[in-house]
Amino acid sequence: MRPFTYTGAKNKEQALQSYSPTSHYLGGGTNLLDLMKEDVERPDQLIEVASLDYKKIFQNDKGGLTIGGMLSNSETANHPEVRKNYPLLSMSMLSAATAQIRNMATNGGNLLQRTRCPYFFEASMPCNKREPGSGCGAIKGMNSLHAIFGYSDSCIAVHPSDMCVGLAALGATVEVQKPDGSTRIIAFDDFHRLPGSQPEKDTNLMPGELITAIHLERPEFSEHYYYLKIRERSSYAFALISVAAGLQLKGGEITKAGLAMGGVAHKPWKFKEVEKFLVGKKPDESIFEAAAELAMKDAKPFEGNTYKVEMGKKAIVRALSQAYARKS
């Protein structure tokens, strides 16, 4: 690691005041310290914020749930309210990493996870995300793990988070503290961004902004939910493809659907059109298959990841079927 000064922030004010453009907030450290050891992240100051008091879970005034930005992933996933009303979120979180890592990783930090693209990690290879202007090694290289949606000429990396796929299906907003002490709310869909010509920016966070809370919408998929994660070993592996599926059913019809996919784009990929398509339909295999076709129709794979189109379709059908099949 490069040398850095360490600041253990005792409160929000101290954290915000300590911030400079070359510093980095430190949450659980599970991603940041790894990247610092890899020399990908090079802050000259770490401001530890994991101990700040944003660790509560409470009912918000919109009938949803607010979860603290500094709460650990495991405490969040296992919170009785989250498990009862947002089991899709719990399941997505529990599919990620390991118990040790979930005990460390914070909710805010999870949103800021950086890609696992191997070109991003290896300093000797080009990567526009790591070093803007150096090129993208993956486009003409090894792209089996890469995007099939929403990529650009400069970056085809995918977002690695599972929790964020769950959040995308559920619908949420992110609350951040601005350096001036005020707060702002970002719709979850606007939080992560597509690479465009600036792949070095994963999110729409501004410098110095600190994630303090995630607000969940009123629970709608507490009974019919499933998070499917397809990976190269049975646990402790990032997804090739993952699908978060939530259904609300009334009188044998789908009244609301949430559907998002991981491992396919620079951000969690929410299928808004498919969600609308499913509403009003009677849930059965053929509808789910039609939904899958619709979802994947615009997929544009590379040489190494054509499998993702087929896998994606099957994953959607399976996740929707599993969600539907749950006993309510």
Residues between 231 and 260 that touch other proteins (CB under 8 A): 231-238, 240
- Does residue 82 contact residue 67 with C-beta atoms inside 8 Å? yes
- Dihedral Cα 205, 208, 213, 217, nearest 10 deg: -20
List 11, 98, 255, 286, residue binding other proteins (CB under 8 A): 98
Contacts for 115 with CB less than 8 Å, ≥ 6 apart: 129, 157, 158, 159, 160, 202, 266
Footprint (CB under 8 A) of other proteins, residues 129-148: 137, 140-142, 144
Dihedral sign of CA atoms 217, 220, 225, 230 in order: negative
Q: Does 128 bind other proteins (CB under 8 A)?
A: no
**Minimum CB distance to other proteins, residue 213 (Å):** 22
- Does residue 114 contact residue 164 with C-beta atoms inside 8 Å? no
Nearer Cβ to other proteins (32/274): 32
Nearest CA to 236 among 98, 142, 105? 98
The site that binds other proteins (CB under 8 A) totals a number of residues, namely 73
Nearer Cβ to other proteins (108/175): 108
- Does residue 262 contact residue 269 with C-beta atoms inside 8 Å? yes
List 315, 320, 323, 324, residue binding other proteins (CB under 8 A): 315
List 14, 55, 60, 101, residue binding other proteins (CB under 8 A): 101
Rg of the chain on CA atoms, in Å: 19
**Minimum CB distance to other proteins, residue 55 (Å):** 13
Contacts for 207 with CB less than 8 Å, ≥ 6 apart: 19, 21, 179
Footprint (CB under 8 A) of other proteins, residues 154-193: none
Q: Does 228 bind other proteins (CB under 8 A)?
A: yes
**Minimum CB distance to other proteins, residue 236 (Å):** 5
Q: How many Cα atoms within 13 Å fall on the side-chain side of residue 221?
A: 31
Stretch that binds other proteins, among 72-80, 196-204, 212-220, 269-277 (CB under 8 A): 72-80
Residues 36 and 47: their CA atoms lie apart, in Å, by 14
Nearer Cβ to other proteins (94/254): 94
H/E stretch holding 189 reads helix 188-191
Q: Does 2 bind other proteins (CB under 8 A)?
A: yes
Q: Does 53 bind other proteins (CB under 8 A)?
A: no
**Minimum CB distance to other proteins, residue 248 (Å):** 15
Footprint (CB under 8 A) of other proteins, residues 274-303: none
Q: Does 229 bind other proteins (CB under 8 A)?
A: yes
Nearest CA to 70 among 27, 102, 40, 30? 27
**Minimum CB distance to other proteins, residue 18 (Å):** 14
List 14, 17, 60, 103, residue binding other proteins (CB under 8 A): 103
Footprint (CB under 8 A) of other proteins, residues 13-52: 26, 28-30, 33-34, 37-39, 46, 48, 50-51
Q: How many Cα atoms within 13 Å fall on the side-chain side of residue 171?
A: 15
**Minimum CB distance to other proteins, residue 291 (Å):** 15
